[in-house]
Amino acid sequence: MIMTLVQAVNDALRVEMKKNEKVVLLGEDIGKFGGVFRATEGLYEEFGPKRVIDTPLAESGVVGIGIGMALYGLRPVVEIQFMDFIFPAFDQIVSEMAKFRYRSGGTYTCPMVVRAPYGGGIKGASYHSQSGEGYFVHTAGLKVVTPATPYDTKGLLISAMRDPDPVIFFEPKRFYRAIKEDIPEGEYTIPIGKAKIAREGNDITAITYGPTLHATKEAAELASKQGISTEVIDLRTLSPLDTESILKSARKTGRVVIIHEAPKTLGMGAEISALISEKALDHLESPILRVAGLDAPFPYRLEKEYLPDASRILKEMRKVAQYS
């Protein structure tokens, strides 16, 4: 079945709600309206108001209610309308949701998913375009998932809804309807914590995730025409991080570029660069380079300049390939 990424989200929710009556959805405008991006379209009519719950405009309360539901045996999936609006619920997420397994010595878990569209590219300006995944990767007790394709989105979201621990699930809204894939009907899962080789290569490694996967693959294709063979790693999950796949590819090529849309300082690129430097330094043949968003508020008029595109990525690929 051919689906867009947002349709894959919808289908994953429907599949799991049919399979498990404990799965309930909470969020602003997710009921009759179907969500601001229509990710929950049709689910209110199919499952009713007790399982698809419209909430007030109060993210802290929505997440807090979800935590209570999870502790009492339900499987809540909370939608934050935009990732930018997750910060009113930050304390609930990092101080409560993430801590229950640890503070109870493993007696209690908090099995819930917080979904949020994130990233730029839709002319959303500074309050509807941020990439804040780093805040949550830094928080022990949370799993952070960042799919880039419809197929991966469905499989990873079903896995997230079945996970015994809380999962932050970031969806690249710029690609909600921009790409389509053939997706199996019914249920299938993709393991959380396992990266994917999106393109085989031998000369350099490009490590990315989420919305920048597509620009990275485009840059890799352009690089191939210049004689540079690029291996593209799609992380898919940021916490837990698939360090084995990262190090294997870095040792194979010896030349690494890391790409993400979030700001460069203290972003995932910094952590991955440190990992490779600590574990595979003897295999490197060039400095590790990063292509990232700017350390600035997300601009409206200069959106294209902020977002990593194929030309910016290709420039850094050529640098590492030619370094000697």
Which sequence positions are flagged as catalytic? 128
Give CA–CA dist 53/36, Å, rounded: 14
Give CA–CA dist 228/317, Å, rounded: 8
CA distance readout (Å), 154 to 21, 67, 283? 19, 23, 36
- If we measure between CA atoms, which residue out of 183, 193, 181 comes closest to residue 146? 193
For residue 224, give both structure tokens: 């191939």
Cβ neighbours for 196, distance < 8 A, ≥ 6 positions apart: 152, 233, 234, 236
Strands of 196-199's sheet in order across: 196-199, 230-234, 204-208, 256-263, 289-293
Give the single-character DSSP code of 177. T
Amino acid at 18: K
Give CA–CA dist 63/163, Å, rounded: 17
Count of Cβ atoms closer than 10 Å to residue 115 Cβ: 26
Give CA–CA dist 45/26, Å, rounded: 15
Give the single-character DSSP code of 207. E
CA distance readout (Å), 133 to 6, 145, 213, 251? 19, 9, 16, 27
Radius of gyration of the chain (CA): 20
Give CA–CA dist 185/291, Å, rounded: 36
